[in-house]
Structure 1
Amino acid sequence: MKILLYLEAEEFLSRSGIGRAMKHQQRALDLMNVDWTKNSDEDYDILHLNTYGPKSWKMLKTAKKAGKKVIFHGHSTKEDFQNSFIGSNFIAPFFKLYLMKFYRAADLVITPTEYSASLIRGYGIKCPILPISNGIDLAKYSRNPAKELAFREHFNLSDDQKVVVTAALYFKRKGIDDFVKVAEKMPDVTFIWFGYQNLWTVPGWVRRIVKKNHPKNVLFPGYIKGEVFEGAMTSSDAFFFPSREETEGIVVLEALASHQKAVVRDIPVYKGWLDESSASLASDINGFVDKLQEVLDGRVNRTEAGYKIAQERTIEKVAKQLVAAYQQTLNL
């Protein structure tokens, strides 16, 4: 069995959750000793599509014509396309119809959570839809003093400085507006937003938040990976993720794997796997402030329970589920 993994616009998406999910797929297949390629000129048994651009559609049609099986990875839904790029809310209904073309043509749809699976089923898709987490590499996010020092030196943070971090694109959907409003109410805490988005692709009010309309205790350093980011995940006092819509949220898994205290928005995607036993959930500005203050004061620490959730979604476990899905598809 050989898998053709395809991610259209891979360079552009490499910094996104979809890009990281693609890397996880490669790692999972390596762990299971399954042959894979990104070269469409090579022979293969299953096409695993991660994106929905015109080249992806052409790949799908070519694969079908050759009698190959096709898996489409449901990273995206109409719901998580909204409140992102300029014009995304207007385009969203048409985007849904476009996505449905891919879903209907696939032999199997893999999507990260039962919540996203339920959304796709609600579109009227009849092919099998299988929830499989994007997975997490636990070893990568274990505590490392050298990485933590690199993070604090990079931002010139004192040992006693309270720090709250997040990682996301500059989208309203990701809660960038609420992130800044919460920071305004907690001026003694440093808030760092890791991530980058071309500012000309987002609405003007988002652009202004990043450029100037934010308090001095908020930092937008752009996209940073490696030891600085990994050190931030273990060294910070809290991980705050006010996203309004996700299909899973890989960065949340990264925080849990880092034994980080997570404060997230209470949204449907977490139902059944992330709750108040393993993270702090809130729905508005005052709620976020209260939950963060509890964490910063040391009154709440759910990191061990959160880590157990990450353990349930390791790359090794996901690899077995992924290979089982491939074998299931070959037998359809």
Structure 2
Amino acid sequence: MNIAQPPGQCFALVTETYPPQINGVSNTLGKLCQGLLGRNHRIQLIRPALPGEKPGSRQAGNLLERCVRGLPIPGYPGLQWGLPAQRKLKQLWSRERPDAIYLATEGPLGWSALRLARRMKIPVISGFHTNFQQYSNYFHLGLFHEPAMRYLRWFHNQTQLTLVASTTQQRELTRLGVQHLSMLGRGVDCEQFHPAHRCEMLRSQWGAGTKDTVLLHVGRLSPEKNPGLLVESWSKLKTAYHDAERKLHMVIVGDGPSADELRKRMPDAIFTGALTGSALAGAYASADIFVFPSLTETFGNVVTEAMASGLAVCAFDTAAAHQHIQDRYSGSLAPAGHDQLFNDNLQWLAQDVEGRRSIRLHARHRACQLDWQAIVQRFERYLQHAALSHTIPAQAVPSK
């Protein structure tokens, strides 16, 4: 006997990025959207049309995708800003008014959705998925740091609630004046990312023998991800490493504006380009150490994916690593910005084979506690709570 699910609600998700695009925000939005659909809700997904895709609407079951016009983001091939779409959104929301709206990104599309939601008195919450205010330091745009922060603070303080991925992000945004913050967190698929996907044939293609040590980096190859430290840590490790039986190998998965420069500076590393699905899972599981020097993450999904795959993670004590790694127990952590300790930790992981084996077991155990279903249910509760509330923050002006 089939028991019918109770009728769900209608929620609108507004985002500038969504699968098949490859980044942490896209991955998170895909999981949240599919999770809500699985809980019998109707979803309006508003996003920019992908290259080669025409703007317009398409319906598949309880999912309505409304694709709007966008413009490419300089330096990020395949990613776009969504252009303001207030008229199109008004037509959509007048036909079927969402119970609540989630704004995942703060670009022109998100801005227009926020303005319209306030005018139509539709409850709206937001998520802080990307530390754009920090990127100015890496793209020599220091003059834009304060204006960017004022805008982000204003944007999020117009919503009932801003969801964050990690405790370190929550503390930083509180310091910067963003109000009404709540923890959402992130999950990881421990079936997709699993040590059982380790492949000796793939390792041999990398030139790695059974006893060799493979270091892996996964992520966008871009200045804000601190690629200079990736180069430095690899160079110093090779100089300090002494083990005649176990050779070192570096594999870099991903693409981005720094890719060509990294290939020049790391000629002995293997660059695979961007990977997804089983190819990505196999790359994780076939490595031994995960090297992650980024300091600008709101969370860092790749950290928990590496842990689920049974890797020993070398990272800074921030975002996902801070939240889910216990130093020298389930990974290694260096205080943010302490490059020397980061390098020392990497050398310790490479040289202490027995210690690394224990860390990999504990990393997998911790990752398996991070269930996406629990995150989706928490997200659902935030949307439902917003839908019950008719309180909308008073209009404010960004502070100078």
Calculate the TM-score normalised by the size of structure 2: 0.72
Where do residues 235-254 of structure 1 align in structure 2 (5 Å cutoff)?
235-254=286-305
Code of the aligned partner of 2:354: G
Relative distance call for 1:223 and 1:328 in structure 2 (3 A) is same
Instruction: Give the CA deviation at 1:87.
Output: 3.0
Alignment length (residue pairs):
319
Match of 1:76 in 2: 130
For 1:298, the aligned partner's letter is E
2:139 paired with 1:100: no
**By how many angstroms is 1:331 displaced?**
2.4
Give the structure with the larger helix fraction. 1
Partner of 1:26: 33
**Which of 2, 5, 10 in structure 1 is aligned with 2:10?**
2
Write the deviation string for residues 20-58 of structure 1: whole angstroms up to 9, x where unpaired. Answer: 111121232134333222135362222111111111111
- Give the CA deviation at 1:112: 0.4
Flag the 1:288–1:172 CA change in 2: closer, same or farther, 3 A: farther
Q: Which has the higher contact order (CA 8 A, sep 6+)?
A: 1
Matches within 5 A, 1:51-130: 51-77=105-131, 80-84=134-138, 86-126=139-179, 128-130=180-182
2:308 aligns with 257
Q: Which amino acid aligns with 1:60?
A: L
CA distance in 1, matches of 2:142, 2:123: 33
Alignment check: 8 A CA contact 2:216 2:253 kept = yes
* 1:36/1:235 CA distance change after superposition, 3 Å: same
Preserved CA contact (<8 Å) 1:151 1:228: no
Deviation per CA, 1:135-155: give whole Å up to 9, x if none. 21221112344x635643664
SS in 2 for 1:264: strand
Question: Residue 225 of structure 1: CA displacement?
Answer: 1.4
How much is the aligned-residue C-alpha RMSD, in angstroms? Answer: 2.5
The one of 321, 324, 330 equivalent to 2:378 is 321
Q: Secondary structure at the match of 1:139?
A: coil
Q: Judge which range, 90-99 or 232-241, deviates more.
A: 90-99
Tell me whether 1:292 sits opposite 2:349 in the alignment: yes
Cα offsets for 1:256-306 (capped at 9, x unmatched) = 1112221112347644542213211234244133233245x2333223332
Residues 1:30 and 1:259: Cα distance change in structure 2 (over 3 Å)? farther
Q: Determine helix, strand or coil for the equivalent of 1:140.
A: coil
CA shift for structure 1 position 235: 1.6
Instruction: Evaluate the alpha carbon distance shift between residue 75 and residue 243 of structure 1 in structure 2; reply closer, same or farther with a 3 A threshold.
Output: same
Q: Distance in 1 between matches of 2:282 and 2:259?
A: 28
Secondary structure, aligned partner of 2:191 = helix
Q: Distance in 1 between matches of 2:193 and 2:369?
A: 15
Q: Cα 1:207–1:163, aligned 2, differ >3 Å: closer, same or farther? A: closer
Aligned mates of 1:179, 1:7 — CA distance in 2 = 30
TM-score (norm 1): 0.86
The sequence identity of aligned pairs, in percent, is 19
Shift of residue 125, structure 1, vs aligned partner: 2.7
In the TM superposition, residue 82 of structure 1 has moved relative to its aligned partner by 4.2
Q: Secondary structure at the match of 1:212?
A: helix
Aligned to 1:135: 187
- Which of these two proteins has the greater Rg computed from alpha carbons? 2
Cα distance in structure 2, aligned partners of 1:95 and 1:73: 16
Name the residue aligned to 1:202: none
The residue aligned with 1:310 is 367
Residues 256/180 of structure 1: CA separation in 2 closer, same or farther (3 Å cut): same
Does 2:258 correspond to 1:195? no
Stretches of structure 2 that go unaligned for 5 or more consecutive residues are 1-8, 46-65, 67-88, 239-246, 390-400
- Does the 8 Å CA contact 2:134/2:145 hold for their aligned counterparts? no
2-side partners of 1:268 and 1:192: how far apart? 23
Aligned counterparts of 1:152 and 1:88: Cα–Cα separation in 2 = 41
Amino acid at match of 1:317: A
Query: What CA distance in whole angstroms lies between the structure 2 residues aligned with 1:166 and 1:157?
Result: 16
Is residue 2:230 matched to residue 1:179? yes
Contact 1:28–1:318 under 8 Å retained in 2? no
Q: Is the 8 A contact 1:149 1:231 kept in 2?
A: no
- Counterpart position of 1:36: 43
Contact 2:126 2:156 in 1 (8 A): yes
Q: What letter corresponds to residue 191 of structure 2 in structure 1?
A: A
Distance, in Å, in 2 between the alignment partners of 1:289 and 1:141 is 22
Deviation for aligned residue 1:111: 0.8
